Structure 1
Amino acid sequence: MRPDRHGAPWVRTRLRTAPVAAVAFGVLVLLTAFLAALLPRAVEAYGTRGLREAVADAPPQSTVLELKTPQPGLELPREAREDAVRPGALAAVAAEASAALPGPLRADPADSAYGVRTAKSLQAQEASLPRPDGLPPRFTLLTQSGIAGHATVREGRLPSAEGPVTTATRLLEGAVTSETARTLKLRAGSTVTLAGFTGAPLTVRITGILEPRHPQGSYWAVEPTLRTPALAYVKATPPQFYWEAGLLLAPEAAPALLGGQGEPEKYWRIAPATGRLTARDAVPLVEAVASLEGGPGLLRLRTAAGPTAALSTGLEQVVGASTAVSDAITPVVAVGAFGIAAIAVVVLVMSAGLAAARRERELALLRARGGSLRGIAGRLLGETAVVAVPSAAGGLLLAVVAVDGARLLPAVLGAGGVAVLACAALPVRAVVAHRRPRAHQERDDLARARPGARRTVAELTLLVLAVGAVAALRRRGTGASGDLLVSAAPVLVGLVAALVLVRLYPLPLRWAAGPAARLRGTVGFLALARAGRSSAGVAALPLLALLTALTTAAFGGSVLTGVADARDRAALLTTGADARLSTTDGTPLPADLTRAVRGVAGVREVAGVRIERASTSASDETHPLTVVGVEPDAYTGLARRVGLGGFPDGRLTSAGGVLDAVASPGVAERLGRAARRIVTPGGVVTVRITAVRDRTPAVPDGEFLLVDAAGLKGSGGPTTLLAAGAGLDARALRAAVREADLTVTLRAEERAALSDTPLQEGAGRIYGWAVAAGAGYAVLALVLSLLRAAPERAALLARLRTLGLTTRQGRRLLGLEALPQALIAAGGGVAVGWATVRLLAPGVDLDRLALPAGATVHGAALRADLWSLVLPAAGAVLLAGAVAVGQAWWAGRRTPITHLRAGDMR
C-alpha cells in the first residue's frame, strides 16, 4: 500500500508492531499451502508409479500388442508372396504400425519384434530326439527380428541365409536356446527334419546354441516354447505326451515357410513403453487399446499391414485391474484429505479470530472515528497478503521440490486456495464484527448466545448432507469414482456432532455448577461456571477441529487395521495354520516328522491330517468329497489356536460303526444330518454330521468332511502336517524337514507376499500423513483457543490473587476450566469415531484395498480399532490440561499489577 501522507506506511508499521504474530502466521500459511499442494501431487505420483509397475510387472503375454495377418494369398504371384514376408517389407510395416499407435500408447523398440511364424507346429522326423510316450517332438518355426541383440551365442554362430530363399528352399540354418538344446539333446551341427512341406521335408541345420539375455522380457516370453520346451499331450486314455519347442531361423529365410503346411503368419509384437505413462493416462490407454482392437485405430493398422490384420492384447485388463485398485483407494484417501482440509480451514479461521480479538479495540476505535468497512478491510487485506502470499508461494515451491513427476496445476490451485483463505479470513472477520460502530464490547458467551434462523438452516443443511453421504456410502460403497460427497461422509458426521455438542455441552456444566457451589472450595465452582459461559466462538471452532481430527484418525486407523486383518486372514486361508507341510504326491509323511516339527522353536500345536477323495457311491465320480482324517484332540487344539473353524471336544467320536463328522455347509446340505455311507479309498464307512463349520485348517478354502482318522478303513499315515505357534522359526523348520521331499508353506511368508503395491503403499502413507497433520492442526486449534482467552484468564488470576487465591489454586482453576471442553471433545470424538466406522463399514471394500486384484477374503469387514479411538482422545485431554497448567505457571510469574491497570476492562 502507498504510505499515508502524514505518517508511516500502514502495513510496515503493523508488521513491526507484532513481528512474532506475523512470523507465526506466515509459518502456518507456509505449512498449510505445502500440504494443500503436496497432496494432489503425491496422489498423482503414486498413481503413476502404480500404473507403470502394473504394466511393467505383468506377464508380457498380457501387455504386448500383437498384430497378426495370415500369409499372403495364393492368388498372388510367387515372387509377390515371397517379397511380402522378407525382412524389409516387415520392417516397413513395423515402423508404420508403431507410428500409428494412438496416445498415450508408445512403442518400446528395444523389446518389440516382428517376423513370420508357423501357427501350426511341425513334426520332427529324427528318431534320436526324445519321445516321452513314443510321439515325436514338434517345432514352431520363427524368423524373429533382432536375435543378435537379445541373445548370447554359447556355441556356434547365428543362423544366416545362403543365397536367396524361396518357397522351394528345403535346407535352412537355425538356432535354439540352451534349454531347448539340453532337453531335446541338440547341439551345433545337429539337423532337424520337419514334415509337412511340398515335395520334400524341410531340413534345418542347427548352427548356434543361444542364451537369452533377458529371458523374462517380451522378446522371449510371448512365445514361451521359444525359450523353454514344454510337454504337450494328445487327448487319449491315458493322455500321451510329446515335446513342443521353438526353432529360430534367419529373418531372410521366411519365404521358405510359405511352402509348407504350418499355416505361416506374419506378426508384429509391439511392447508398450511405460516410462512416460502417468496416472491420468489409465482411461485414455484403455480407450486407445479398444480403438486398436476394433475401432479407428485398427483401420489405420490395416492400412499398413493389410485388410485382414487383427490386433490382440491383454493390456486393457492389466490397466483395468490397476484402475480398480485406484478407484477403491482414492475415496478412502479423500477421507483423509477432507479431514485435514476441514481442520486446516478451522485453524486459519481461528488464527484470524485471534488476531481480530487482539486488535478488537483498535478496530472499534477506527470505526468510531469514521473508518469505513472498505478501508479497514483493505488495510487488513494488505497486512495479511504481504505475509500470506509469499508464504503460500514458498509452500508451493517446497511441494514441487518434494514430489516430482506430477502436474503443476492442481498444486497451484491448492496453494492458491490457502492463500485466498488466509488473506480473506481476517478482513471478513473484522467486517462482520464491526458492521456497526460500538461504544463498548458486548458479552459474547454461551449464556447469551441465541442461535439464529440462519445458523439453524445451515446446521440442518449439514445434517441432510451428512445423512445423504452416509446413505450413499452404505448403498454404493467407495467404488463411485469422483463422488466427493461419499468421501466427505466422516468429516460431515464429525461436523454435525460438533455442532450438536456446541449446543448441548453448556447444559451439563451449568447443572454441575449448582452442586459445586455448595462445596467448601470455590475453585471447582468458578471453573465450571466459566467453562459454561465461555465464548461461543471460542468453544465452537476448537470442538469442530478436535472432533474432525478424532473422527478422521478413528476412521483411518480402522481402515489400516482392517487392511492388516484382511491380509492376515488371506494368509491364514492359504495355509490353514502357521505352517503347512505336505508331500508333493500325496504319499504319507515320514513317521518321525511330527516329533521333529514339535522340536522346532516357536511351535505350540502340531496336527497330522490325511486328505482323501471319496464319493457317496462307487459309481458317483462326478461329485467327489474331500474327506479329512484327523486325530481329534490335537486337531481341535490347533483349530482353536489359529482361530479357524474351531469346535467343541467330542464332535469327532464314533459309536456303533458310525463316525461323527464336522462338515462344510455345502457337504452338510448334500449329505444331510442322518447317517450316510460314503466310499473312501480304504473302503465304505458310515458318517453322521454333528457340526457345520465354514472353514477348517486342513481345507481352509473349500468343501470338506472332517472325521476321526482312526475310523477310516485302510487309512495310512497323515499326508499333511499343520503347525501353529507364535514366532515360529522358519529356518529351523525347513532344516528339520530338509531330508524329506516336502512342500513347506508358511503363513508369515504368505502374509509378506501380500505387501502393498505402489498404489496401496502410497495411499497408506498419504493417509498417515493426513492423520498426523490433522492431529497437529487439532493441537494448534486447542492452543489457539487457549491463547485467545489467555489475557482474560491472566487478569482473572490477578484479581483472585488479590483476594487470597494461591498459586496452586490458580493452576487448578485454569486446569479444571480447560478440561470440560477437552473431555467432552474426547468423549464425543470416541463416540463419533465409533459410530462413523459402524455406519460406513458396509460401504468400504477392504478386499480391493488390501489384496491383489481379483482376490477376496470372506468375513473381512471394517471394524472400530480401539487404539485409534482412545489414544488420540487421551492425547487431546492431556494436552489441554498441560497447556492450561503451563499458562497458569506463566501467569503466576508476573505481578498482578501488570494485569490490573487503570481503565483495563478485561
Structure 2
Amino acid sequence: MRIPLLARVHVGTVAVLSVLTISACLLIAGLPRGMQASFDQALRRSLSTASAQQADLTVTVASDSQADDLHERGQFDARDRQWRELLPAGLRPLVTPAGTGSSHASAKTSLTPITGTSGTRYINLGWLSDADRRVTWVQGRPPGAPGTTRYDGETIPVFEVGVVVEALREMDLRVGETRTLGENDYVAVKIVGAFEAKEPGDRYWDHNADIMHVAKVQPPGSLDFEKHITSLMSDDGLTALSGEGRHLSYNWVLPVDPAAAGAMDVPGLTAAVADLDRLIGVQSTGTASPYRLITGLPKLLGDFRAALATAETVMYLVLGGLLAVALGVLVLGVQLLADRMEHTLTLARARGGSLRQVAGTGAALTGLAVAPAALAGYALSYLVPGPVLPIVHLGPVIMVLVTVGYAAARLAVTYRAPLHERRDDVATARPTAKRTTLEVLVVVLALAGAYLLRARGLDDSAGQDPFLLLVPVALTAAAALITLRCYPYPLRLLVRLAARGRAAVPFIGLTRAARARSASVLPVLILLPALGVSVFAAVISDGISGTQVQASWQQVGAPIRMTSNIEIPAEAIAKVRAAGGVEQVVPAQTARVQVGYGAERAEAIAVDVARWRQLMGGAPFDLPDLSSGALVSSELRGRGTFEIGWQSRLKLATRGVIESVPGFYTEGKFLVVNIDVLTRPAVNTLLVKGDASVGELKRLVPSATVVSQQGTLRAIQDDPLTSTVRWTMIVVTVALAAYALAAVVLALVVGAADRARAVSFLRTLGLSERQAQRLTVLEILPMILVTTTVGLGLGLGLPAALGPAVDLSSYAGDLPVAGHPPGLVLPGTLAAGLAAVAVLGAYAHTAVSRRRRIGAVLRVGDLT
C-alpha cells in the first residue's frame, strides 16, 4: 500500500497526531533543560551569597617554632603553587587563578594582648600579600621595616603597623604612638598609619574581618567585652615575625568562582574537597604543625544538595506523570488513526495481504506522522537555555518508539484473523485468576509502600530515593485499577433504576456506558494520572505559596522592622513617625540579659505587646496578650517568678510559654516583657506599619537595618530553586489540563463511528435529535465524572501520602509546608471544563450525525 496516499486521505488525523507529538517532545525535552539551568543558577547564587570564608578553600598552618617560620614572600608563593598543583581535576575549573579574585596569602597572630590591659585589649600582628591593592592610607604612612627597642631590660622588636580607622576610635589608639604587646615574650608596635578598604564590600574582606573591624568578645561570666584588632605590617615585618612565643598562623586562600559551578557537579565537588583535604594532610609529614584545609564548601554543597534532591524528586514526579499522560494521548491518537484506516486495512487483509503488510502499513503511516514532529519538537527544545541532559535525547526517541510500536502491535492483534468481527459492546471476557491476583497485589503494594514511606521517611544517602519515585506511580496504578474494576458496578445499579422508568434514553445511554468497548479504558488511564498529577502540583504550589507568606512574617515580625546596634534617638523616632506612608510605630528594645545572678544569659525584647498585636493586623501568627510579667521560651519554663539583670534588677512572673518571637528569636533562651518595666528604655528597634519606603527610613536612621515583610517575601520567591519548582508546577499543570481535555475530545472522536451507528439504528425507531444528544451525553459523562472524582482524590491525597518524605521547607523560608488546606478552584475548574467538553462534544457529534443519511451508516441487511 502507498503510504503517501494514505497520509493524504487521513491528513486531518495525521496532523492531529503530529501536533500532539510536537508538543509532547517539546515539553519532555525542554522542561528538563530549563530546570537544570535553574538548578545551576541556584547553586551559583548559593555560593555567591555565602560568605567567602564558607565558599573558598583556605589552607592554614600554625608556626610553633623558628623552624616553621616563613620570612619571605617567595616562600608563600611557592606554597600557593604547591596547593594549586594538588587540586583534584574536579576542583580546578572552580578555583580562580593565582592573583585574581580574592586569592591571597596572609600571616596573623592571635590573642596578642596590649601589655597592662589585663587581657581586655588585643592588637594582633598581620600581613597580607596584596595589602597595597586592598587598602588606602588615609592617615600617616604605610608601615616600613621593623626596628628594636629596650623594654624591661631586654631588646625587643618594634613592628611598624597600620590599623583601620575604626580601631583608632574604638580602642583609643593614635597614629604615632607605640604600644607594647604580650605578657612575657614582649614585642612592640608603632602605629604609623591608618587605612580604609578600597572596596569595603568585596568578598575578600570576609577572610580578613579581623583587620577591618574591631571584634568584641564577652568572656563567660563577665559583663565586660574584650576588644581585638589585627594590624597590618609590611613585607619587611615578616623577617622579624616568629611563631615562637605567640600564636602565629599562615594562610593561603584559594577562592571559588561561583560562575563555574554546576548542579550536576555537586557530588563530584564534595568528593574532590575531601581528596584535597587528604592530600594537604599528607604534606604535613615530617613537620611539627600539620597543614589543614578550612572551608565550609562541603556544607554549602550538602545543604544545596538536600534542597536539590527535593526539587528533583518533585520534578521527576510531575515530569513522569507528564510523560505517561503524553504517551497515553499519543496512543489515543494512534487508535483514532487505526479506526480511520479500518476499512482500508480490512479490505487489504481480505484480499490476501499478510499480517506483516497490514501492521507495517499502520506503523509506517504512524511513523510518518510522529517522526518528523518529534524531530521538530526536539529542535524547538534547544530554544530553552540550559545543559543538554540524557532525557533531552531520550524523550523524543521514547515517544516515537512507543507510538510506532503500539500502532504495529495493535494492528497485529486486531487483524491476526481476516474478517474476524468482534462484539465488544455485548460481552466482555471475565478476568483470569492470575490477572485478579496481580491487580490485588499492585493495590496492596501501593498502600504498603505509602505506609512505609511515611514511617521510615526519606533515604537520600545514596542519592535519589527510588522508593519515593515508585510509591506515587504505584498509588496511581492502584487507583486506576480500582477505578476500572469498580466503574461498571455503580453504572449497572443506575441501569437497573433506569429500567424501571418509562424513558428509554437513560436506560440505553447508561447501558452503553456500562458496556463500553475495551478501547474506552484508555481515556480513563490518561485522565486519572493527568488529573492526579495536576492537582498534586497545584496543591504543592499552593502550599509553598502560603508558607512563603508565613515565613516572611516570621522573619520580619512586622510590616517593616528597623533594628540598630545603638540607641535610636527620640528625634529620629519622631522623624520616622512623620515619614510618608507610616501609619503606626511601636518602639522596642532588645538586649542580652542576665538570668538570676550567675552566668546564665537570655535574649530579651521589651515592647508594648498590645500595640504590637494591633500593628500585626492580619498576619498569620499571633502573640499571647501580656499585661505584666514575661512570656518565656520553653527553655526558661517552669521557673515561676524569676529575676533578670537589665538596666536594674527586675522580678518577673512567667505568664506564658512561646515557641518563637516572630522577627527576633526562634530557638534558645528568650523572653518578652512590656517596655514599661524598664526604667529608661534605650530604644534600638522600631516596628513600623504602612507602605513607607525602606530607603527613606534607612536615610532617617542611618544606623538601622531596615527590612520589610514584602521585600523578604520577594527574596524568598525569587530564589532560583524556588522559582524553578513553582513555574515547573504551573507549566506541568497547564500541560496536563490541556492533555486531559485532548483525551476527552479524542475519546469522543474514537468512538464516533460506533456511536453514530447506534444512534442511526435508534433513529429508525423514532429517536429524536434532542434524545440523541442526551443519549450521547449519558454515554460519555459517567466515565468523565468517575475519573475526575478519582483523579481529584488522588491528587489531594498524594501530598498526605508522601508525608514528611518530601521536605519543601527549603522553598518556603525554612518553614515546613504543612497545615495549608488545598485550594479547590483549579481542580474544580478542570473538572468542570472536562464535563463541559464532554457535553459540547456530545452535542457536536449529534449535530454532525444529523447531516448524515441513515443509509450512509447502516449496511444492507442491518435492519432485517
- Normalised TM-score (structure 2): 0.82
Among residues 119, 122, 125, which one is paired with 1:140 in the alignment? 125
1:874 maps to 2:832: yes
1:442 maps to 2:422: yes
Distance change >3 Å, CA 842–CA 863, structure 1 → 2: farther
1:786 maps to 2:748: yes
Task: Spell out, residue by residue over 1:365-419, the C-alpha distance to the aligned partner (whole angstroms, 9 max, x if none).
Answer: 4444444434433343333334433333333332234233344x33222222222
- Note the C-alpha offset of 1:297: 5.4
Do the aligned residues in 1 keep the contact of 2:164 with 2:211 (CA within 8 Å)? yes
Counterpart AA for 1:430: L
Query: Match of 2:717, SS?
Result: coil
Aligned to 2:53: 61
Counterpart AA for 1:111: G
- Note the C-alpha offset of 1:224: 1.1
Distance change >3 Å, CA 365–CA 296, structure 1 → 2: farther
Do the aligned residues in 2 keep the contact of 1:614 with 1:680 (CA within 8 Å)? yes
Aligned to 2:150: none
Aligned to 2:443: 463
1:553 maps to 2:511: no
- Note the C-alpha offset of 1:238: 4.7
Among residues 75, 93, 116, which one is paired with 2:79 in the alignment? 93
Aligned to 1:22: 14
Counterpart AA for 2:469: S
Aligned to 1:769: 731
1:567 maps to 2:548: yes
Aligned to 1:290: 274
Aligned to 1:317: 299
Query: Match of 2:464, SS?
Result: coil
Do the aligned residues in 2 keep the contact of 1:343 with 1:549 (CA within 8 Å)? yes
Aligned counterparts, 1:258-407, within 5 A: 258=242, 263-293=247-277, 295-296=278-279, 298-299=281-282, 308-407=290-389
Aligned to 1:826: 788
Query: Match of 2:231, SS?
Result: strand
Among residues 401, 405, 410, which one is paired with 2:391 in the alignment? 410
- Note the C-alpha offset of 1:211: 4.1
- Note the C-alpha offset of 1:354: 1.9
Counterpart AA for 2:302: G
Do the aligned residues in 2 keep the contact of 1:449 with 1:536 (CA within 8 Å)? no
Distance change >3 Å, CA 517–CA 556, structure 1 → 2: same
Distance 1:652 1:414 in 2: 61
Distance change >3 Å, CA 154–CA 607, structure 1 → 2: closer
Counterpart AA for 2:453: L
Task: Spell out, residue by residue over 1:312-362, the C-alpha distance to the aligned partner (whole angstroms, 9 max, x if none).
Answer: 211111111111111222212222122112212222222222222222343
Distance change >3 Å, CA 577–CA 895, structure 1 → 2: farther
Aligned to 1:644: 621
Distance 1:684 1:230 in 2: 30
Distance change >3 Å, CA 160–CA 801, structure 1 → 2: farther
Aligned counterparts, 1:55-204, within 5 A: 55-71=47-63, 74=66, 85-106=71-92, 107-109=95-97, 110-120=100-110, 138-144=123-129, 146-147=130-131, 150=134, 201=188
Do the aligned residues in 1 keep the contact of 2:780 with 2:838 (CA within 8 Å)? yes
- Note the C-alpha offset of 1:249: 2.0
Aligned to 2:152: none
Counterpart AA for 1:422: T
1:13 maps to 2:9: no
Distance 2:630 2:242 in 1: 65
Aligned to 1:255: 239
Counterpart AA for 1:565: G
Distance 2:301 2:838 in 1: 49
Among residues 864, 867, 887, which one is paired with 2:822 in the alignment? 864
Aligned to 2:151: none
Gaps of 5+ in 2: 148-154
Distance 2:592 2:195 in 1: 46
Query: Match of 2:386, SS?
Result: coil
- Note the C-alpha offset of 1:491: 3.8
Aligned to 1:484: 466
Aligned counterparts, 1:584-595, within 5 A: none
Among residues 499, 503, 506, which one is paired with 2:481 in the alignment? 499
- Note the C-alpha offset of 1:442: 1.0
Aligned to 1:4: none
Instruction: Single out whichever of 481-490 and 815-824 deviates more from structure 2.
Output: 481-490
Query: Match of 2:110, SS?
Result: coil
Query: Match of 2:302, SS?
Result: helix
Query: Match of 2:91, SS?
Result: coil
Distance change >3 Å, CA 192–CA 865, structure 1 → 2: farther
- Note the C-alpha offset of 1:877: 1.9
Distance 1:531 1:620 in 2: 81
Distance 2:861 2:141 in 1: 104
Distance change >3 Å, CA 592–CA 108, structure 1 → 2: closer
- Note the C-alpha offset of 1:569: 2.8
Aligned counterparts, 1:663-682, within 5 A: 669-671=638-640
Do the aligned residues in 1 keep the contact of 2:86 with 2:279 (CA within 8 Å)? no
Distance change >3 Å, CA 904–CA 763, structure 1 → 2: farther
- Note the C-alpha offset of 1:838: 2.9
Aligned to 2:206: 221
Counterpart AA for 1:117: A
Instruction: Single out whichever of 23-32 and 359-368 deviates more from structure 2.
Output: 359-368
Distance 1:74 1:581 in 2: 51
Aligned to 1:420: 401
Distance 2:350 2:767 in 1: 39
- Note the C-alpha offset of 1:105: 0.7
Task: Spell out, residue by residue over 1:800-841, the C-alpha distance to the aligned partner (whole angstroms, 9 max, x if none).
Answer: 555554444443333333222212222222223333333223
Aligned counterparts, 1:455-854, within 5 A: 455-478=435-458, 480=460, 481-517=463-499, 519=501, 521-538=503-520, 540-578=521-559, 622=600, 641-642=618-619, 644=621, 669-671=638-640, 701=666, 728-731=690-693, 746-801=708-763, 804-851=766-813
- Note the C-alpha offset of 1:12: 2.9
Distance 1:599 1:72 in 2: 61
Distance change >3 Å, CA 378–CA 741, structure 1 → 2: closer
Counterpart AA for 1:510: R
Query: Match of 2:259, SS?
Result: coil
Task: Spell out, residue by residue over 1:25-56, the C-alpha distance to the aligned partner (whole angstroms, 9 max, x if none).
Answer: 23322322232223443343333222222222
Distance change >3 Å, CA 797–CA 151, structure 1 → 2: farther
Identity among equivalent pairs (%): 26
Distance change >3 Å, CA 772–CA 154, structure 1 → 2: farther
Among residues 45, 58, 64, which one is paired with 2:37 in the alignment? 45
Distance 1:840 1:595 in 2: 48
Do the aligned residues in 1 keep the contact of 2:338 with 2:411 (CA within 8 Å)? yes
Gaps of 5+ in 1: 1-8, 654-658
Supply the RMSD in Å over aligned alpha carbons: 4.9
Task: Spell out, residue by residue over 1:441-471, the C-alpha distance to the aligned partner (whole angstroms, 9 max, x if none).
Answer: 2122385343334542442343244224312
- Note the C-alpha offset of 1:842: 3.9
Equivalent pairs counted in the alignment come to 848
Counterpart AA for 1:278: G
Task: Spell out, residue by residue over 1:82-126, the C-alpha distance to the aligned partner (whole angstroms, 9 max, x if none).
Answer: xx642333323322321220021122021253445132366789x
Query: Match of 1:117, SS?
Result: strand
Counterpart AA for 1:91: D
Query: Match of 2:60, SS?
Result: strand
- Note the C-alpha offset of 1:283: 1.4
Distance 1:373 1:471 in 2: 48
Distance change >3 Å, CA 756–CA 735, structure 1 → 2: closer
Do the aligned residues in 2 keep the contact of 1:85 with 1:266 (CA within 8 Å)? no
Distance 2:643 2:191 in 1: 58
